[in-house]
Structure formats: structure tokens, C-alpha cells
Structure 1
Amino acid sequence: MKSNSASPASSIGYGKGVALCLSATVLMGAMFPVMTDALARVDPFTFTSLRYLIAGIAFAMLLRHREGAGAFTADGHSLVVAWLLGSVGFCGFGSFVFLGQQLAGPDGALDASIMMATQPMMGLLLSSWLRRSAPPVLSLVFVALSFSGVSLVITRGDLLAAIHGPQHYAASGLIVLGAFCWVIYTFGSMRFARWSALKYTTMTTWLGLTTIVTVNAVLIAVHAVHAPTLSTLYSIAPHLLYMGPVAGFGAILFWVSGNRILGPMNGVLFMDVVPITAFVVSALTGFVPVPAQIAGAALTAVALVMNNVYLRRRALRMAMPPRPVQPAAASGGQ
């Protein structure tokens, strides 16, 4: 008879997935306050190029050590699709999110971090689109609540001031676009079943780097951004030490590995941790969020948790076998 309880192995595997995703989002949350100072010294495109070059070298060395030289082959998967996902995930996320954070100014770290918490809702909509089925109505209600919380954060509770500041919308729009890029990258991992989490991360990082460096070079050539000087590189070295090896190499590897275990729909829920970490780090560095921002972050978190609980219960109800039909009572009595 099949037991309904989870096996120790499956429980350990689930716990490992939770630990990986939680560790990844804590490390990701701290990167936004770190970037506040870095973006005052260098443009986001140059920083993204340098960050992923550092992370890419670490990924390649680890993949070569663990899986050998043959690990760098396609193994039946499309390198074009891998390049597209790497470009969207790394170039799209790094460029759009950090450009938006730079445009938002000193408050951009909190704005960007709370936008990351909308990714579970984006994942729900993307999953529904891929399956060609409408999301549940109650989930759409939670989507509306989530974005209401985001609006409180980005407007600081002052809607009239936001109306007179259209540049704020541009910054927020870029951050949301970058967040959606990361959702696409996360879901794309499931298309590469024959690649390990490390291989998927390594291959997409290096393929995406071709896009990142090309965009950066074009922007420098047309004088849209300045080529970094040695003094600039020296000034951002501490930021790169965190953003490359820690938030780039460690966090992304943990993220992809955890999502392979839990699945992207469950994994992206952990992006709720990002704004919490960013709020704590920002407060420790002297920037305390206003009450409206705290309320908005809480509303977004509650909406996301309620949506996840609802979807889990709904999935369990749908998976339950139908109740057997009771035979009709015999006529004529006993």
C-alpha cells in the first residue's frame, strides 16, 4: 500500500531546495543597497559586464572541475535558445533593473527590491500563458493587491506627487521589465533537462555575456556611456567583490539549483525575501523607509503568500481522486 507521507529522501530534497532559494534571495536582497553607491560611480551597463565576467569565470572553472571539458557541449539542447535566455536573464535583468535603480536615485534600492517581489505574480501569468489557460480569478485579485502594495512603495504613499513626476514611472517601468526578464530566465531552466543546474547557469552566463559586452561596447562607441577609467575601476572594486563572486556566482547558482528542486512556480515565491533583506540593509546604512513604503511591502508580501497558499490548496483539491459513487439503495426494505 502506498504511503501518503513524504519519504525522508523527498523531505531532505525539498528542504535543500528551500535552503538554496532562501540563501539566494538573501544574497540578492543585499545587492540593491550595494548598488546604490556603485551606480553613483559607474553606469549599469559597464558594471553588468564586469560583474558577469567575474561570475562567468567562476562558473566555468567550477563546471570544468565537476563535469570535465565535455560539459561545454550542447548535449542536444539549442545553444540559440540558451543564448536568448542568457541575454534576457543577465543582460536584460542587469541593464534594466540597475538603470531603473540609478534613475530612481537614493531611494532606488528599496524601489527595485520591492519590484522583485512581484515576480511570483509574473510567474503565475507566464505559466498561465504557456499553458494557454486563464489564471484563477482569486489569483488575479492577489495580483491587484500585490501591485497596489508596489504602488505605495514607489509613490511613498503620495500619489499626487507621483503624477507630477513622470520620470519616476520610467524608472519603475524599467525595473519591472528587468524583473520579468529574470522570471523568463528562471522558467527557461526547465527546458534544459539534460543540463545540470551548474551547466545551465554557466552556459547561459557566457552566451549572455556576448550580448552584454556588445551592448556595452556600442554604448561606449556612441558616447552614451563613458569607458571606465582605472580610478573608476578601483573605486568600484569593493562593490564588484560582492556583486561578482557573491550575488553573481553564489546567489545565481543557488537560485537555479533551488528552482530545479522546487520548480519555478514555488521557487519564485522566495523573491519575497529580497525586499525584506534590502529594507534591513538600507536601514542599517541609515536610509529608513517611510511608513507608506513599509505598508506597501507588507501588503505585497501578504498578497503573495495568500496566493501561494490558495494555489497549493487548489492543486491538492484538483489532484484528489473523485469520490466513489455510492450504490443506490435497494427497493423493498430489509
Structure 2
Amino acid sequence: MALSPLTTSLIGSLLQRKLLTRGAVFSLVVCLSGVLLVLTNGELKRLLSFEFNHGDQIIFLGMLCWSLYTYLTQGISRWMPMIPYTFIGMLAGLGVISVVAAFSAEAHPVQESLAISQIVLADLLFISVFGTVGGYLLWISGVKQLGAANASLFFNFVPIFAALTALTFGQNVTGLQLLGMAVVISGLLLPRLTHWRQQRFARMG
């Protein structure tokens, strides 16, 4: 999933037939380096010994679908309001999940839904409202304002927040992982600070 910003930028570059800007390339390289540092904890052998199994292939296809969705959102959100667009996306997801569940002998969504506890139900409602609907609305709004390539760079915060969440649950976060977080944030902020300073000097001139 850390490849999503790079993939989204490449999709936009190919379909629009435009080269990436130097600022975008800088952010992509620096942020990806920071993400890899967080994920591997500085141990390169983890990447060298990585095996691409069936589960990885499914996640990789999911990443491609998400990158394409992000790019297409940039155009669709300009003529369709966010809430109807999000609602259509939720219905599409429900349709796909329903089809998969119907052809899976191990899945019994109705029976399992009736048997869940109140705590699990509260967790599901939280994920549905804040993690899914709210998250999609904010993401679409960001893509609409920043463009798909720039918005996708913020996807690099996913492993950072995952590490911080792990920290709140008592798991250790190493110094190298903290360094990786700082690298990711720097990769996002430095090009924007440079652009802001150039605009400021232009107005002063």
C-alpha cells in the first residue's frame, strides 16, 4: 500500500501525458524512503527476503484499484457532489461484498450479525461512520482540492498512524521508525514550504 502514491502519480502522468514535477518526484522518493524505514525498521534484508504470496497479490491489486479510484475521483468530484458520490461508492462496495459472501460457504453475514455482542456492534458502527463514510468524504474533499497526485502523498501517513496506534497499545516504536516518520513528514512539507516561499517572494517583488 506504500506504493499507492507513486502508482497514483504514474497513472495521472500516463493518462494526462505529462511528466511529474520535480517537487512531486522529490516528495515521492523521500516519503517512500521514510515509509520503508518505518516498515522495515532499517533492516534491508526484510525487503530482500520478501516473498510475493497470494495474499500479497490480492493486496497489490487492491492498491491498484485504490490508486485508480483516487485518480478518477479527481475528475468525477468536480461535477458530482461528494455525498452522492460517496453513497454510490458505498453501494458498490456493499454489492461486491454481498456477491463474495453469497459464493463463500464459510461466510454467514446475517447469522453472524445477529450473534455479535454490543461491544463488537459499537466497533462496527464506529468503523462504518468514522473510518469508512467520514474517511471517504474527507479523502474525496482532499483529492478535489489538491489533485490526485498531491493528495495521494498523504497516504504515506497510514504506516505512521499505524505505528503511533501500536505505541498507544503498548508496543515499542524504535528510533529508526521515528526517524522514518520524520522523513515522511519532511518529504510532504519541504516542497510545499518552498512553493509557499516562492509565492511570498513573488508577491513582495
What's the TM-score, normalizing by structure 2?
0.71
Q: Is the 8 A contact 2:27 2:188 kept in 1?
A: yes
The runs of 4+ residues in structure 1 deviating greater than 4 Å are 169-177, 307-310
Q: Deviations over 1:35-94 (max 9, x none)?
A: xxxxxxxxxxxxxxxxxxxxxxxxxxxxxxxxxxxxxxxxxxxxxxxxxxxxxxxxxxxx
Question: 2:136 aligned to 230, 249, 252, which one?
Answer: 252
- After superposing the two structures, state which structure 1 stretch, 293-302 or 270-279, moved more: 270-279
How far off is 1:245 after superposition? Answer: 1.4
Specify whether residues 140 and 122 from structure 1 end up closer, same or farther in structure 2 by C-alpha distance, changes over 3 A only: same
Quick one: distance in 1 between partners of 2:8 and 2:161? 21
Quick one: distance in 1 between partners of 2:20 and 2:91? 35
What is the 5 A alignment of 1:87-102?
A: none
Q: Quote the residue 1:279 is aligned against.
A: 163
Q: Is the 8 A contact 1:149 1:298 kept in 2?
A: yes
- Please provide the CA RMSD for this pair: 3.5
How far off is 1:299 after superposition? Answer: 2.2
Structure 1 gaps, min length 5: 1-111, 321-334
Q: Is the 8 A contact 1:153 1:296 kept in 2?
A: yes
Percent identity for Structure 1 against Structure 2: 26
Q: Is the 8 A contact 2:32 2:184 kept in 1?
A: yes
Query: Structure 1 residue 233 and structure 2 residue 79: aligned?
Result: no
Q: Is the 8 A contact 1:146 1:301 kept in 2?
A: yes
Structure 1 letter corresponding to 2:190? M
Q: Is the 8 A contact 1:149 1:296 kept in 2?
A: yes
Question: 2:32 aligned to 147, 150, 168, which one?
Answer: 147
Which entry has the higher C-alpha Rg, 1 or 2? 1
What is the 5 A alignment of 1:54-69?
A: none
Query: Structure 1 residue 299 and structure 2 residue 183: aligned?
Result: yes
Query: Structure 1 residue 127 and structure 2 residue 16: aligned?
Result: no
- After superposing the two structures, state which structure 1 stretch, 250-259 or 118-127, moved more: 118-127
Q: Is the 8 A contact 1:124 1:265 kept in 2?
A: yes
Q: Deviations over 1:110-151 (max 9, x none)?
A: xx6xx3xx5444332222112112324564454333333233
What is the 5 A alignment of 1:25-36?
A: none
Structure 2 letter corresponding to 1:282? A
Question: 1:243 aligned to 127, 146, 151, which one?
Answer: 127
How far off is 1:156 after superposition? Answer: 2.3
Q: Which has the higher contact order (CA 8 A, sep 6+)?
A: 2
Work out the number of aligned pairs and report it.
195
Quick one: distance in 2 between partners of 1:161 and 1:191? 39
Structure 2 letter corresponding to 1:305? L
What's the TM-score, normalizing by structure 1?
0.48
Q: Is the 8 A contact 2:86 2:136 kept in 1?
A: yes
